[in-house]
Amino acid sequence: MLAYVSSPLNRAHDLRIRNEELSALRRRPDCVVVRVRGDQVEVDGDLPRRNVGAAAEEEEVFLGLAEDGAPWFAARAPESASLAPLRGLMLAGIVDHGLLSILAQARSIIHWHERHGFCANCGSATAIRDAGYRRACAACGAEHFPRTDPVVIIAVTHGERILLGRQAAWAEGMYSALAGFCEPGETIEQAARREVFEEAGIRVGDIRYIASQPWPFPSSLMIGLIGEAATTEITVDTSEIQDARWFSREEARHMLTRSHPQGLHASHPYAIAHALIAAAAGL
């Protein structure tokens, strides 16, 4: 199952501007606060720490309401907090998918606040508004909103073959779908075709959408695609990726189950790339 896609919270966006109601929620004894710093989450032992009924902290963000009505907030973890990487918690498989999704939401928006304390227009200090979903500059009146960066990720097929690539920094033997950020003025399809051509020299024709995944490092939306190759000769841009090659569907299936005879493997099952490769391999 994909990580970060199963939040149980109702974001209750209408409460963000209703300060009195929001304050009342914050005072409830079942109010939960999760705290993050950078890519790390506050933990209690091996598990994320849920501060229930904790006192209000500076610049908290309202995350939403649980099914039982309990309000959830996020804040920046103090220097003294015990922390663990969010990615590591995901890979360990000891945190349920709902809580992982809540932590991903918290990590993304707190990261934005950590970097937007000053106005990009005039340089003056900004103040938190709308329960954390806006920052306002009193000096020039500019408003700043959290951003999510769209990223295309695509498994390219040609008959019974699948095009996969790898970055030098990845684990030895790992291959994955090609990916890149959408640029201003591009459609999703244009971005996918450009990225594949830039990285592997392959022209892509038809493209179909498969699924999406929020990726909180720091705040991206992975848009999963499968495309049909119009050309087959690979030309790797080594400034972009280390390698790209065609794999048979059978090879891809072995890579997904980590049974490839050469020790090659696909992305972790929690990542959308794994699901794309599986779909392209006919699984």
Instruction: Write the CB contacts of 38 (distance below 8 Å, at least 6 apart in sequence).
Output: 111, 114
d(CA 276, CA 221) in angstroms, rounded, equals 15
Class of domain 149-280: alpha beta
pLDDT at 96: 93
Percentage of the chain with pLDDT > 70?
Answer: 100
Q: ∠ CA 73-75-78 to the nearest 5 degrees?
A: 145
Instruction: Write the CB contacts of 199 (distance below 8 Å, at least 6 apart in sequence).
Output: 165, 178, 180, 236, 237, 240, 241, 244
Closest CA to 117 of 109, 126, 108: 126
d(CA 165, CA 184) in angstroms, rounded, equals 25
Q: Structure pTM?
A: 0.93
pLDDT tens-place string over residues 144-166: 999 999 999 999 999 999 999 99
pLDDT tens-place string over residues 104-144: 999 999 999 999 999 999 999 999 999 999 999 999 999 99
Instruction: Count CB neighbours of 95 within 10 A.
Output: 20
- Asked, as a colleague might, if the bond just before 269 is cis with ω within 30 of 0, I would say no
pLDDT at 139: 97
pLDDT at 156: 98
pLDDT at 159: 95
Indicate the fold that domain 13-115 takes in CATH: Nucleoside Triphosphate Pyrophosphohydrolase (3.90.79)
Beta-bridge partner residues of 33: 51, 73
Mean pLDDT over residues 271-281, rounded? 97
Q: What is the residue-averaged pLDDT of the chain?
A: 95
Residues of the chain with CATH 3.90.79.10: 149-280
Which backbone phi and psi does 85 adopt, to 5 degrees?
A: -65, 135
Which amino acid belongs to residue 112? W
pLDDT at 171: 92
Residue 236 has pLDDT above 90, yes or no: yes
d(CA 248, CA 210) in angstroms, rounded, equals 20
Three-state secondary structure of the chain: CCCCCCCCCECCHHHHHCHHHHHHHHCCCCCEEEEEECCEEEEECCEECCEECCCCCCCCEEEEECCCCCEEEEEECCCCCCEEEHHHHHHHCCCCHHHHHHHHHHHHHHHHHHCCCECCCCCCEEEEEHHHCEEEECCCCCEECCCCEEEEEEEEEECCEEEEEECCCCCCCECECEEEECCCCCCHHHHHHHHHHHHHCCCEEEEEEEEEEEECCCCEEEEEEEEEECCCCCCCCCCCCCEEEEEEHHHHHHHHCCCCCCCCECCCCCCHHHHHHHHHCCC
Mean pLDDT over residues 249-264, rounded? 95
Residue 186 has pLDDT above 80, yes or no: yes
Residue 283 has pLDDT above 90, yes or no: no
Closest CA to 176 of 63, 38, 275: 275
pLDDT at 1: 79
- Sort 169 into a burial class: Cβ within 10 Å, 0-12 / 13-18 / 19+: exposed
Residue 282 has pLDDT above 90, yes or no: no
| Contact status, residue 172 vs residue 161, Cβ threshold 8 Å | no
Residue 88 has pLDDT above 90, yes or no: yes
| Contact status, residue 36 vs residue 77, Cβ threshold 8 Å | yes
pLDDT tens-place string over residues 25-40: 999 999 999 999 999 9
Confidence band of 55 (pLDDT split at 50, 70, 90): confident
